[in-house]
Chain A
Amino acid sequence: MSLKVEALAKRFGDVPALEGVSLEVGRGEFVSLLGRSGSGKSTLLRLVAGFEAPDAGRILIEGRDMAGLPPQARPCAMMFQSYALFPHLSVHENVAYGLRRAGQYSAARVEEWLALVGLAGFGARRPAQLSGGQQQRVALARALARKPPLLLLDEPLAALDAGLRAATGAELRRLQRETGTSFVMVTHDQAEALALSDRIALLEGGRVVQIGPPDAVHARPATRFVAEFLGAANILEEAGASFALRPEQIQLGGDIPARVLTRQFRGEAWMLECEAADGRRLRVSVPAQGEVPAEGDAVALGWPASALVPLA
């Protein structure tokens, strides 16, 4: 086990940030902590890194209890949202910083890391002379240079342009596989978490509400919050209970009369926003091949009973 968190609790003054969070991350696993701002996901990361001390609970990295250890004595490394590159040092010296502290510095090793993130020959520059994407890769190389068993990533893609994000995410995943490092990534972007992680932990109000592989969490959200947060799912209230219903599970040609309000082209499918006769709003995904109703058209909707996922 790379990281084990047991019943972790933390309050800031009167505000509870974490309320009994437990989590396990296996060796070489990529786990995302997904939640809105204020859900406690960043606090969890800062507790593991050692920047804050927990009020209760235990943190074990590679089986060792981290209680009372300062950040510099912990085996994990952190990649900061703002990258936190040292502005007065060159790119080379930024990557070398951790190696020098550990007495493992060699210029060749730094150059190797720079090459691995596609920045060979950039060593002499200052961080301010790099683009956002390049800075992100320097931060990644700096954090990984000492080969920590566990890397904590705080919104690693949030500061990038939308166009760069997908490619950089894939790069992140490749480096994670190649180095065999366990990654714990904090993000508020559900698409990012679904795309990159082995498992996703959803946080709400300082608690983990669901944890599992992306496809499982996506197909069977446990709570209304998860269903809404993962996006796109319709929430139905029937007989006093709530159900999630994914747009692609709804078929045209059923027994519920509705009208198409708007439609959006999503490449592989059209997303229709429909209003049923009883006033319910439903989002329906229709494959791009074949007939697609126009805005204002009357349609009939239906779904199999098995498509309804009960929510807590």
Chain B
Amino acid sequence: MTRFVLVLALLFLWAPVVLLAGFAFSDARQPFLWGGFSLRWFHALAGNARLLEAAGLSLLIAAGAATLAVLAGGALGWVLARQGRFTGRPLFGALAAAPLVLPEVVSGLSLLLLFVVLEHLTGWPRGRGAGTVLLAHASLGAAYVAVLVQARLAALGRVLEEAAADLGAGPFTLFRTITLPLMLPSLAAGWGLAALLSLDDVVLASFTGGPGATTLPVLLFSQLRMGPTPEANALAALLLAVALPLGAVFWWWKGRSR
């Protein structure tokens, strides 16, 4: 019975992925009809500058947003877990977690308004493009990183930091030698999560992006109206070929370090 449920669950999770990758090798024009084996869509993809450019931009934004999110969210999580009570802390905590519960449409709209008002008042950001999408993704990612870091520090408790202080470590040495290394796994996980959130986001990128900055999800989404082509499948198959081994290595490493 357990085995049956397991197989069903795996099918449910992986069948769409396998089909998606499978149709990348189909000769048919429609990405849901089998037209015999062919690599023509990979060739087409290699010649599709728009799609490749969007993919490159998406990866760049994802990396940048995730890095920014780790810096801001890491600091935020540390403050919430370690700085005790200060005036306004409950409000601060609620605001930090808001992006997690706020509908993306609301976040997107509010960020758009923020950028427009800022430009009006200060002249920055000049128009909207990759930079504003990156900032929007970073703000969402930072909330997730903060939650991860805060949970990690709360689970560890303060006793290790007390021990370090007792052994003569001042606040900065203590943070560098104890707190930061202990936060590292949650920062790494947070970076990955923030990068993933950025890579598959359509809503925020649509609100805060400009005509010059079309990310991959936004481009694919817009192509839906004209009918998708199996080039997207080919791209997805390539991404899977990169992501799956990375995931496998991560799980193997995680299993070994136990």
Residues of A within 8 A of B (CB): 49-51, 70-72, 74, 77-78, 80, 82, 84, 86-88, 97-98, 101-102, 142-143, 146
Contacts and interface: CB of A to CB of B under 8 A. Distances in A.
B57 to A, nearest CB: 37
A51 B161 CA distance: 11
A142 B168 CA distance: 12
Nearest to B156: A87
Nearest to A102: B168
A101 B173 contact: yes
A87 B169 CA distance: 17
A142 B167 contact: yes
A149 to B, nearest CB: 14
Interface string B164-195: 11111110010001100110000000000000
B165 A98 contact: no
Contact of A72 (B166, B178, B181): B166
Of the candidates A82, A86, A142, the one having the most CB atoms from chain B within 10 angstroms of its own CB is: A86
Interface of B: 159-160, 162-170, 173, 177-178, 181-182
Contacts of B164: 86, 97
Contacts of B162: 49, 51, 71, 78, 80, 84
20 contacts: A49-B162, A50-B165, A51-B162, A71-B162, A72-B166, A72-B169, A72-B170, A77-B166, A77-B167, A84-B162, A86-B163, A86-B164, A87-B160, A88-B181, A88-B182, A98-B167, A98-B168, A142-B167, A143-B167, A146-B167
Report which residue of B159, B163, B164, B167 has the largest number of chain A beta carbons within 10 angstroms of its beta carbon. B167
Contacts of A70: 165
A146 B168 CA distance: 10
B178 to A, nearest CB: 6
Contacts of A87: 160, 182
Given A86-B178, A88-B181, A101-B173, A72 B165 contact: yes
**Which among A70, A72, A74 has the highest number of chain B CB atoms within 10 Å?**
A72
A80 B167 contact: no
Interface of B is mostly: helix
Given A71-B165, A71-B166, A80 B178 contact: no
Contacts of A82: 159
Nearest to A76: B166
Q: Pick from B159, B165, B166 the residue with the most CB of A within 10 Å.
A: B166
A12 B159 CA distance: 19
Nearest to B157: A82
B160 A84 contact: yes
A86 B178 CA distance: 8
A101 B169 contact: yes
Given A72-B168, A84-B163, 10 more contacts: A49-B162, A49-B166, A70-B165, A71-B162, A72-B165, A80-B163, A87-B182, A98-B167, A101-B168, A101-B169
B169 A78 contact: no
Contact of A97 (B167, B170, B181, B182): B167
A78 B160 CA distance: 12
Nearest to B178: A86
A70 B167 CA distance: 11
Contacts of B167: 72, 77, 97-98, 101, 142-143, 146
- Nearest first, the 8 A-B pairs at minimum CB distance are A101-B168, A98-B167, A84-B163, A71-B165, A84-B159, A88-B181, A78-B166, A71-B166
A94 B87 CA distance: 37
A78 B163 contact: yes
Most A Cβ at <10 Å: residue of B168, B177, B181: B168
Contacts of A98: 167-168
A82 B160 CA distance: 10
A140 to B, nearest CB: 13
B150 to A, nearest CB: 19
Contacts of B177: 97
